[in-house]
Amino acid sequence: MTSLATELSRIAGAAFAAEGLPESLGRVAASDRPDLAQFQCNGALAAAKFLSGRPADGSPAGAKANPRAIAEKIAARLKADSLFSKVEIAGPGFLNLDLSDAALDARAATLAGDKTLGAPGTGKGKTLVLDFGGPNIAKPMAVHHLRSTIIGDCLQRLYRANGWKVISDVHLGDWGLQMGQLITEIELMGIAPVYFDPNIVGPYPDESPVSMEDLETIYPRASAACKADPARLEAARRATVDLQAGRAGYRALWRHFVKVAEVGLTREFGALGVTFDLWNGESSVDALIGPMLEDLKARGLTEISEGAVVVPVARDDDKKPMPPLILVKSEGGVLYGTTDLATVIERVRDYDPDLILYVVDHRQHGHFEQVFRAAEKANLRGRAHLEHVGYGTMNGPDGKPFKTRAGGAMKLYDLIEMGKAEAQKRLAEQGIGADYSAQEREEIARKVGIATIKFADLSNHRTTDYIFDLERFSKFEGKTGPYLQYAAVRIQSMLRKAKEQGHQIGAPAIHSPEERRLILQLLSLGDLMAGAEEKRAPNMLCEYAFELAQNFSRFYSEHHVLSESDPALRAARLGLCALVLAVLTRVLDLLGIEVPERM
């Protein structure tokens, strides 16, 4: 269904057009001052400017048109429409608009019958490739990948709901120096000599010589050794180059790393309820890199700089120095930027997307700027708009990137467990679920724990750093995930009771200011989803959900629902509750938050 603001913009646009003015001036939006009006249209002010520049009546250009006089004319036309219960002119020529309750009721009934709950359809016919998650397979997934995963998954859900075809790619870090570091460390450990014997080219064992737990200890050791010893670093570099060049034993060993890591990662992403369409990685474009380099060279787009192959991407108007994108290092290895550039080619070839979003830590801004410029310069991006969706850091109470108590990087799995444990504590405090089975209690705690972490992360604007404060995030009051789950569960249980008592659920209808406010908010969901898409801003969904829960609780404390004796009124109120529940559940689902059956 068309959103209310869109519908009203069309009506106001027609009024402007009838006055010989551009239709686009009729843009109507929710009012900045909900205490004064539901909607506003500021077009008369722009119309006055428009007329002063290009007078319609032939008077000399620059003659002042009066915005208030224009607003009067528009208002007279709008007043003739029974849709409006109020058309007022404020200040220099703002139009303040209210809709009649009958008009709102009719649209609420349509919304209740709309399976998409007013989704805006902004993505119809459009394709998005969404790059998020991005863990590195040598290392256990750490909390800095958590934000990418949570924000990316929310965007994946939102864009799909808005009608986009979304292809999500976890884009594993599986091809850089870290691979060479692992390989050399394993060689030194002597645990799998067959992969290093130059006389053997396979077949190699099916069984991996290392487990995920092994990798978790091997990598930090290798990385520390390379920091301390230049010879070790050199060996790791050489192993990386050999791996990329296709040395059979290294490739076989590397395939084990990838497989082992994928099992662990699937478990962690699964625990968060996050899925990907593609499990590609930096290595996936290996075959494209050679031809890409040839092509760029042939077209004169590359240069040699200190032995490395680079694409200069600086522009005259750059305020800051912009280093070239390095494609091949002097010793022959390819880099992060090389695989990212080749991945643009791959994605354009395979999906011809309208948009590619990279949900990656904002500290990588420079990297993406280089890659995007190179893709632009070499004309590789097809019709896709490339955009880095950056985000800030999750900090500990000390204001530094979140760490475990022991000072190490917190693993995602442990963090989820922490969230769950905190939820268990809170639920017990609230006396929730004391009479449920242990299994159900555990399931509720899992959902609440994940909601705690996700909502805390998504409710901040993604670019701001925030302090991880489990104590605050897990509260059942205030702007938290558990509060919203609880709000939804309460409506669920009320509707269950209504069913048990045999009550009718009718179409929502306005009988009070609280109901009017709720219905107006419900009808704005489509615009909210479109706005959150445009700004890539999950926090807008969080705000909306919180406000909805608050508006609902105001309504619920003022009015009888189950205890209402007038059956028609009760049915309308139950209908409103059902619609609030549907919308709240929908928005929570977009945030990746599940609502328990009961709490």
Contact set with ligand ARG (CB under 6 A): 131, 134, 136, 171, 173, 340, 358, 360
If the CB atoms of residues 171 and 426 are measured against ligand ARG, the closer one turns out to be 171
- Residue number with CB closer to ligand ARG (141 or 158): 141
**460: phi then psi, degrees, rounded to nearest 5:** -85, 150
Measured from the CB of residue 372, what is the shortest distance to ligand ARG in angstroms?
11
Nearest to 11 by CA among 120, 527, 25, 529: 25
Of the pair 141, 591, the CB lying nearest ligand ARG is at: 141
Residues 6+ apart with CB under 8 A from 311: 296, 301, 302, 303, 324, 325, 327, 374, 377, 378
Please say whether the beta carbons of 41 and 28 come within 8 A: yes
Name which of 25 and 182 has its Cβ closer to ligand ARG: 182
Provide the minimum distance between the beta carbon of 338 and ligand ARG in the complex, in angstroms, as a whole number.
11
- Nearer Cβ to ligand ARG (136/338): 136
Of 187 and 282, nearer to ligand ARG (C-beta) is: 282
| CA-based nearest residue to 138, from 207, 79, 220 | 220
CB nearer to ligand ARG: pick between 134 and 482: 134
Q: Where are the alpha helices (DSSP H) in 246-357?
A: 248-271, 286-298, 336-351
In whole angstroms, give the CA distance from residue 446 to residue 421: 9
CB 476, min distance to ligand ARG, A: 35
Q: Please give the single-letter amino acid code of residue 392.
A: G
- Is the alpha carbon torsion for 285, 286, 292, 293 positive or negative? positive
- Closest to ligand ARG by CB, 337 or 596: 337
Radius of gyration of the chain (CA): 29
Per DSSP, 55 falls in state: -
In angstroms, rounded to a whole number, what is the distance separating the alpha carbons of residues 262 and 210? 13
DSSP character at residue 29: E
**For 302-366, where are the E strands, in sequence order?**
303-305, 308-311, 325-328, 355-359
Minimum distance from CB of 391 to ligand ARG (Å)? 12
* Minimum CB–partner distance for residue 375 and ligand ARG (Å): 12
User: Least CB distance from residue 360 to ligand ARG, whole Å?
Assistant: 4
Contact 74, 19 (CB under 8 A): yes
Q: CB–CB of 144/371 below 8 Å?
A: no
- The distance of closest approach from Cβ of residue 546 to ligand ARG in the complex, given in angstroms and rounded to an integer, is 30
Nearer to ligand ARG, 171 or 441 (CB): 171
Minimum distance, C-beta of residue 122 to ligand ARG, in the bound complex (Å): 24
Q: How far is the CB of 337 from ligand ARG (least distance, A)?
A: 9
Nearer to ligand ARG (CB atom), residue 347 or residue 447: 347
3-state secondary structure at position 163: coil
Minimum CB–partner distance for residue 531 and ligand ARG (Å) = 26
568 C-beta neighbours (distance < 10 Å), count: 11
| E runs forming strands in 54-117 | 84-90, 94-99
* Residue 397 backbone phi and psi in degrees, to 5: -60, -20
Q: Which residues pair with 334 in a beta bridge?
A: 328
* Cβ proximity to ligand ARG, 131 vs 185, nearer residue: 131
Report yes or no: 413 and 272 within 8 Å, Cβ to Cβ. Answer: no
Nearer to ligand ARG, 136 or 539 (CB): 136
The smaller minimum CB distance to ligand ARG, of residues 360 and 574, is found at 360
3-state helix, strand, coil in the chain (%, to 5): 55, 10, 35
Q: Which is nearer to ligand ARG, 250 or 372 (CB)?
A: 372
What is the token pair recorded at 579? 């619609």
In Å, what is the CA distance from 26 to each residue of 10, 65, 122, 230, 464? 7, 17, 20, 67, 35
Sign of CA dihedral 477, 536, 447, 491: positive
Distance CA 150, CA 132 (A): 9
User: How far apart are the C-alpha atoms of 42 and 26, rounded to whole Å?
Assistant: 8
Give 21 or 215: the residue with its C-beta nearer to ligand ARG.
Answer: 215
| Local structure of residue 359 (DSSP, 8 states) | E
State the nearest-atom distance from the C-beta of 362 to ligand ARG, in Å.
12
To ligand ARG, the closest distance from the beta carbon of 310 in angstroms equals 18
Query: What's the closest the beta carbon of residue 449 comes to ligand ARG, in angstroms?
Result: 25
**Matching residue, tokens 């909805």:** 548
* Nearest distance from C-beta of residue 177 to ligand ARG, angstroms: 12
Tokens at 173, concatenated: 């870090």
Report in angstroms how near the CB of residue 281 gets to ligand ARG at its nearest.
Answer: 9
Distance CA 436, CA 193 (A): 54
CA distances from 579 to 101, 195, 492, 562 (A): 17, 61, 11, 16
